[in-house]
Amino acid sequence: GTRRVLVTGCSSGIGLAVAARLAKDELRRFKVVATMRDLGKRGPLEKAAGDSLNKTLEIKQLDACSESSIRECVNSLPDRRYDVKYSAVIVNNAGLGMIGPLECQSIDAMKELFDTNFFGLARLVKEVLPDMKRRQSGHIVVMSSVMGTQGLIFNDVYSASKFAVEGFCESLAVQALKFNIKTTLVEPGPVVTEFERKVYEDAESMDLSGTDKETAKIFREIYLPYSKKMFASLGQTPEEVAEQTVKVITDKEPPLRHQTNRLYMPMTALKHADPTGRLPLDSFYKMTFKHDKVFNATLAMLHLLKRIGGKK
Ligand code: NAD
């Protein structure tokens, strides 16, 4: 049957791509409620939605940082309470990024990030869970990140927010399953979106006077070029992530976790290979500070694999 999918953060990037992909589904399996904080930014989504606009896709306002905005949006859906025609799916996607030395970041900025990335999810789930339980159906899909399972240098606060998201979902999933509600954490590696551009723009203009010279140098001269290289060689498009998100949504038995980038998997595997944490710590340390040549060679190899993979 038709499924109603509510997606957050649809004005750009992955959220936009997911909403458009679902709306244009050839089998017409979805009714998409594409939401964004600022309806003034609906232009690109309208363009991407094309003919599906106001047919299989409607645009609504939703601010992940406001309980009342979330409630208003969900209340405006015609089947809010008892109509069982639709099995509801939510895709919690709205999120902020943040990189840099910790000493240069304000506690207020960290709180804002958590308010969006973690509390945004908690607010939305609180709002829709009672309905899903009553209907004994639903799917909670959350845009997490590979950084939700493994930290990365200069991503301390962002990674912490995604770990929070992962812990929340991993805990909730057990209870939800009792009510036939599925939970999936989608974990992309680097994705080339506004997100990346915004984060780098902030990084270039960041005031690094709050930290020592050596840390500033590591950030500017090692981390930033390293990170840009990662995006250039391993980066996925939002459309690739959207395609995999649709697969997850239509899966009869959706997984709790889905990594979208196979090329990134060797990195996340390090953590599971050594419960003491020494192996990933040592590897990331060497990759960052010692073996620049090894790292470049690895990237070149992954790049080659990607090209070979693409020809299949
Ligand atoms: P993006 O910046 O293009 O999209 C994020 C969207 O969230 C924007 O449209 C923004 O307006 C919206 N948003 C921010 N605060 C909001 C709020 N309070 N209410 C409603 N919407 C709000 O970046 P993206 O890459 O498409 O990011 C989408 C998700 O994917 C995020 O959760 C991000 O953490 C995650 N992710 C991104 C990458 C990447 O490399 N780009 C990798 C892994 C995970």
The atom of ligand 1 lying closest to the CA of 146 is 43
Which two structure tokens, joined as six digits, stand for 236?
């996925």
Burial of 271: CB neighbours in 10 Å, binned 0-12, 13-18, 19+: middle
Judge whether 163 and 171 are in contact, CB under 8 Å: no
pLDDT in single tens digits along all 312 residues of the chain: 788 999 999 999 999 999 999 999 999 999 999 999 999 999 999 999 999 999 999 999 999 999 999 999 999 987 664 444 556 899 999 999 999 999 999 999 999 999 999 999 999 999 999 999 998 999 999 999 999 999 999 999 999 999 999 999 999 999 999 999 999 999 999 999 877 888 788 888 889 999 999 999 999 999 998 888 888 888 999 999 999 999 999 999 999 999 999 988 888 888 888 899 998 898 888 888 876 666 666 666 666 666 665 543
Atom of ligand 1 nearest to the CA of 37: 20
Give the pLDDT of residue 85: 53
Residue 307 covered by a domain? no
Which of 124, 169, 191 for a ligand 1 pocket mutation test, highest count of atoms within 8 Å of Cβ? Answer: 191
What is the predicted pLDDT for the residue at 100? 95
Instruction: Give residue 293's pLDDT.
Output: 65
Query: Which residue range forms the structural domain that includes residue 200?
Result: 3-263
Report yes or no on 257 lying in a domain: yes
> Is the C-alpha dihedral spanning 311, 250, 46, 198 positive or negative?
negative
Contact, 98 vs 109, CB < 8 A? Answer: yes
Q: pLDDT value at position 312?
A: 37
Indicate the top mutation candidate among 152, 195, 233, 257 to test ligand 1's pocket, ranked by most ligand atoms within 8 A of CB: 195
Q: What is the dihedral of CA 170, 171, 175, 179, to 10 degrees?
A: -30
Is residue 311 in a domain?
A: no
Dig out the tokens for 183 from the structure. 């939970």
Rounded to the nearest angstrom, the distance between the alpha carbon of 213 and the centre of ligand 1 is 31
In a domain, 102, yes or no: yes
The complex's ipTM?
0.99
Residues designated catalytic: 158
How many residues does this entry show for the chain?
Answer: 312
Return the closest-CA partner of residue 238 out of 13, 19, 41: 13
Q: What pLDDT was estimated at residue 163?
A: 98
C-alpha 300 – ligand 1 centre gap (Å): 28
What residue's CA is closest to ligand 1, atom 3? Answer: 13
CATH code of the domain covering residue 227: 3.40.50.720
**Domain-embedded: residue 119:** yes
CA distances from 236 to 33, 171, 206, 233, 292 (A): 25, 29, 26, 9, 23
Q: How far apart are CA 55 and CA 144, in angstroms?
A: 29
Q: Which residues line ligand 1 (CB under 6 A)?
A: 8-9, 11-15, 36-37, 63-65, 93-96, 116, 143, 145, 188, 190-191, 193-196, 238
Total domains in the chain come to 1
pLDDT of residue 301: 64
pLDDT at residue 2, as a whole number: 84
In a domain, 284, yes or no: no
Q: How far is the CA of 308 from the centre of ligand 1 (A)?
A: 30
Residue 306 belongs to a domain: no
Q: Which of 6, 11, 14, 263 to mutate to test the pocket of ligand 1 (most atoms within 8 A of CB)?
A: 14
**Would you say 231 and 194 are in contact if contact means Cβ atoms under 8 Å apart?**
no
In a domain, 126, yes or no: yes
User: In sequence order, which ranges of the chain are alpha helices (DSSP H)?
Assistant: 13-23, 43-49, 67-75, 107-117, 119-135, 156-178, 194-205, 213-217, 224-234, 238-250, 265-273, 278-285, 292-311
Distance spanning both ends of the chain, measured CA to CA: 33
